[in-house]
A and B are shown apart, each in its own frame.
Chain A
Amino acid sequence: MGIPLEQLLQAIPFEQLLIQTVNGIVTGMILALVASGLTLIFGIMDVVNFAHGELFMLGAYVGVITLAATGNFWVALVVATLTIALLGAAIHVTTLRPLLGRDPLTTILATFGISLVLQNYALWQFGPVARKIQEPFTGHFTLFYLDYPWYRLVIALLSAAIIGALWLFLKFGTYGIWIRATTQDRVMAQAMGIPVPSVLTVVFAIGAGMAAASGVLFGPLVGVNHAMGLDWVLKAFIVVVVGGMGNLGGSIAASIFIGLMESYASLWVSPAQAVIFSFVVLILTLLFRPTGLFVPTPK
């Protein structure tokens, strides 16, 4: 304490600040991909999906296996997304559909049970040693005298593309319109002939697939292990609350905000402690804007 702010800023070179900005946006976009699946499932189905981090983790593992078998990263990305989307549909049909119409809190309990099972299954199947996904390409480009890997930028763009595609699908696709109709009024949608239970299953599958895709994309940056989902689901929950539950745009803004803040914070403190900054943001949000930072003030 007692260090003046200018001195603190001078201690950080400009290049490092820039690198952290780009890093923050990249992490933020991955986080946005995880959180938009979570907020989609919550906003449409009233299900708080505790198993979301485990779907992220299993997606990364399926990616590791497919990559080892085929040697192609993009094939691994697609296979992982589809596999986990199917798994998501299966989970929804077997455990969440019987809970339709019950208190949303029971879905927290059920998905918590699912997360325990999946996490221990991964530990059992793949062991405690972290696996690595090889990046599809390793090129660098120069960013103010510093090398920066292209791959990181590609992740951010891909995440943005997937989220954009989801938005277009929800806005203009026939099935997207079904999904939005189900959100607005489940009973009325059913009366209009929309197969509501199937729509909910598809939504859960889409959310699960998005989690898996982000798992594979993020795999090359960190090791893949059975506990990697825990960190992410917590961060995604923070994002979803800060951005406003069920609000896609808010989640993206909040993800980038949290990503940037944590990467700036890690200039001064260790990454483990940088998490505390997001916690503080969450507390402040709850105090002053309990409906979320990025939604219009309720009237």
Chain B
Amino acid sequence: MSARRVVVYWTAFSVILALLIVAPLVLPEFWRRFLTEILIWGLLAMSSDILIGYAGMVSFGHSAFFGLGMYGAAAALLLVKPPDLWLAILYGLIAAAGVAAFVAYFATRLRDIYFAITTLIFSQIFYVIIFTWTEVTGGENGLTFGRPALAIPGLFSVPFTSETLHWFVLAVVTASYLALRRITQSPFGMVLQSIRENEARTRAIGYPIERYKIAAVMLSGLFAGLAGVLYAIQNRFAAPDFVFFLISGEVVIFNVIGGIGTLVGPIVGAAFFLLLREGFSRFFTEYYLIPVGLIFIAMVIFMPQGLLGFMRRWLNQ
């Protein structure tokens, strides 16, 4: 890796980050919200990329982690007075981590397609529980709650505006990206990639691959839960629809469209998907998934690398 390429990479990173920081100041209210939402879905998709792109395990159950993050945040915001931002994040992460530990323990016994189906069915278990346990989760209607203030204990506490919410989300997503990038380049990340390339050989070298897989699923689940907390804070509600497996399917779509194994690809994929949805829903109203689905199928066949797939080596250096 040459020094020049590193400079180019970080320059590009800083320029895009700067654009995203300035964006809410120039965009109208609708697009400001839209951009924040893209970042949140992008974080969810990025968390799933750890499994799909690096460990080679396609998870169809990320809605469970995302949804439990939402409900964890809801619990903190409804039970603890006054509502506290950091407590919401903590509760959300604990809920997501609990689910992730459960799913990881069982699902990592299986490989390939079986892993995909198992994670899918696990997310449906949580969906059914949340949907039918009306007294606690609000059932079909979900839960609504107030937005906590942006606060650092002992320093300041101000209510969120749409600009500060955007910056807060951007900060969390950027920090998550840098953390995940560091993790994928660490020895741990290298072992995950070697599991993807050749599981039998990795095992033969002596790595306890079950433990690595469980850790990967839990890590992925934690970041997905973080995305769930952010979404709950942005929209001030938690609903069982977000635990339903169609959300997991969309997450996989984000990854494939954007390019797996790139970390930023899924964010680009989320942006592309949400823009397509926004554009098509003007013409096709609620049937926007017909053209989006057709584009997705075409991309699976003709462009399996995704939008950013050609930059994969460069982004991972």
Contacts and interface: CB of A to CB of B under 8 A. Distances in A.
Contact of B106 (A123, A234, A287): A287
Determine the interface band of chain A, counting residues with CB < 8 A from chain B.
35 or more
Contact of B249 (A102, A104, A116, A270): A116
Contacts of A105: 58, 112-113, 116
B252 interface: yes
B121 interface: yes
Determine the interface band of chain B, counting residues with CB < 8 A from chain A.
35 or more
A273 B127 CA distance: 11
A112 B121 CA distance: 15
Interface in B186-217: none
A188 interface: no
B290 A108 contact: no
Interface stretch (A27-35, A75-83, A146-154, A276-284): A276-284
A121 B293 CA distance: 11
Contacts of B95: none
B31 interface: no
A106 interface: yes
Interface stretch (B39-47, B161-169, B224-232, B297-305): B297-305
B182 interface: no
27 contacts: A48-B116, A98-B301, A99-B300, A104-B112, A104-B113, A105-B116, A108-B58, A108-B116, A110-B297, A113-B296, A116-B249, A117-B289, A119-B289, A120-B288, A120-B289, A120-B290, A121-B287, A234-B124, A241-B114, A241-B118, A273-B128, A273-B132, A275-B128, A276-B125, A282-B118, A286-B106, A286-B110
Q: Which 10 A-B pairs have the closest CB atoms?
A: A117-B293, A116-B293, A113-B297, A113-B296, A120-B289, A124-B287, A279-B125, A113-B293, A110-B300, A116-B289
Given A109-B256, A283-B106, A287-B109, 17 more contacts: A48-B113, A48-B117, A105-B58, A105-B113, A105-B116, A108-B113, A112-B249, A116-B293, A117-B289, A237-B121, A238-B121, A276-B125, A279-B124, A279-B128, A286-B106, A286-B118, A290-B109
Interface of A: 48, 95, 98-99, 102, 104-106, 108-110, 112-114, 116-117, 119-121, 123-124, 234, 237-238, 241, 245, 270, 272-273, 275-276, 279, 282-283, 286-287, 290
